[in-house]
Amino acid sequence: MAMPIGSKRDDEMPSTPSSHHDDSDFKRSSTHLRSGREAFGKVIRSWASKKFMTGCVILLPIAITFYTTCWLIQFVDFFSPIYFHIGINIFGLGFVTSISFIFLVGVFMSSWLGASILRLGEWLIKQMPFIGHIYNASKQISSAISPDQKTQAFKEVVIIRHPRLGEYAIGFITSTLVLQSYSVDEELCCVFIPTNHLYVGDIFLVSSKDVIRPSLSVREGIEIVVSGGMSMPQILSITQTENTQLNRSQSSRS
């Protein structure tokens, strides 16, 4: 059947302005919907990452404390293999025995007889070429946290001006000495400045007049060094001895 001349099919009909307006509205609405979904996704990802990091921050010290405690218990529990070979399987018996043994060793070594035996054993160990150096290094490390003030390696926590003017470094006094000269004798403090936790550091000989003594115990100073300064108190007060030294130095300068 022949189509009338001049007639056009529906798909060839020209688009009206209303159809253009509908297409632009549809594209605009789809664009807004896509941007809204992206913004919502970013908010969800940001919220999830923050909550995940919060969980990590909370659980990390707990996990470190748990695994360190388990390792310490296994390290101290050196009687469990003995009980296992004997055939005694009682939970916690080896750990309790190890703690009791360490306590009794401390009580015995605090006596005169124990100290004499310890000195004799140390003398024998120091005579060995290589083992003596290992024993001396490990003993110095253990003496740093010893509760005995007479044998404690770190005498007190101090602050010195280092490395430049206006900068300070926290350290520990390990010993004191007197520098003799022709004019006057000067008292110097041997200050240990840790650079890698407590095992590696630098040693400075500082005049006792230039040493700042904060009101911190040795244990608090060790915590500050090990934590990287995170346990540092907000306010540090100087002891009365240091205040008098500062007043004397200021009066002498004026």
pLDDT given for residue 11 in this prediction: 47
pLDDT given for residue 32 in this prediction: 67
125: Cβ contacts below 8 Å, ≥ 6 apart:
131, 132, 135
pTM above threshold 0.75: no
Q: In whole angstroms, give the CA distance from residue 80 to residue 94.
A: 4
Contact by Cβ (8 Å): 178, 189? no
CB atoms within 10 A of CB 120: 10
Contact by Cβ (8 Å): 174, 192? yes
Q: In whole angstroms, give the CA distance from residue 184 to residue 162.
A: 25
Contact by Cβ (8 Å): 83, 93? yes
pLDDT given for residue 56 in this prediction: 86
Q: Quick one: which of 196, 234, 238, 198 has its CA closest to 216?
A: 238
Give the pair of three-digit tokens for residue 243: 């205040």
Q: Quick one: which of 145, 174, 172, 177 has its CA closest to 158?
A: 172
Contact by Cβ (8 Å): 139, 197? no
CB atoms within 10 A of CB 239: 14
pLDDT given for residue 30 in this prediction: 66
Cα angle 218, 220, 223; round to 5: 110
H or E element in which residue 32 lies: helix 17-76
CA distances from 172 to 135, 157, 175, 216, 247 (A): 22, 5, 9, 11, 23
Through-space distance between the first and last CA atoms of the chain, rounded to whole angstroms = 122
> What are the mean pLDDT values of the chain's consecutive 10-residue runs (254 residues total)?
46 50 60 73 84 87 87 82 83 85 87 87 84 78 62 80 84 87 85 76 87 87 83 80 49 49
Residue with tokens 């664009």: 31
Residue with tokens 């302005």: 17
CB atoms within 10 A of CB 25: 10
pLDDT given for residue 70 in this prediction: 84
pLDDT given for residue 57 in this prediction: 85
pLDDT given for residue 1 in this prediction: 44
pLDDT given for residue 28 in this prediction: 63
pLDDT given for residue 217 in this prediction: 85
Question: Burial code of 169-192, b = ≥16 C-beta within 10 A, e = fewer?
Answer: bbbbbbeeeeeeeeeeeeebbbbb
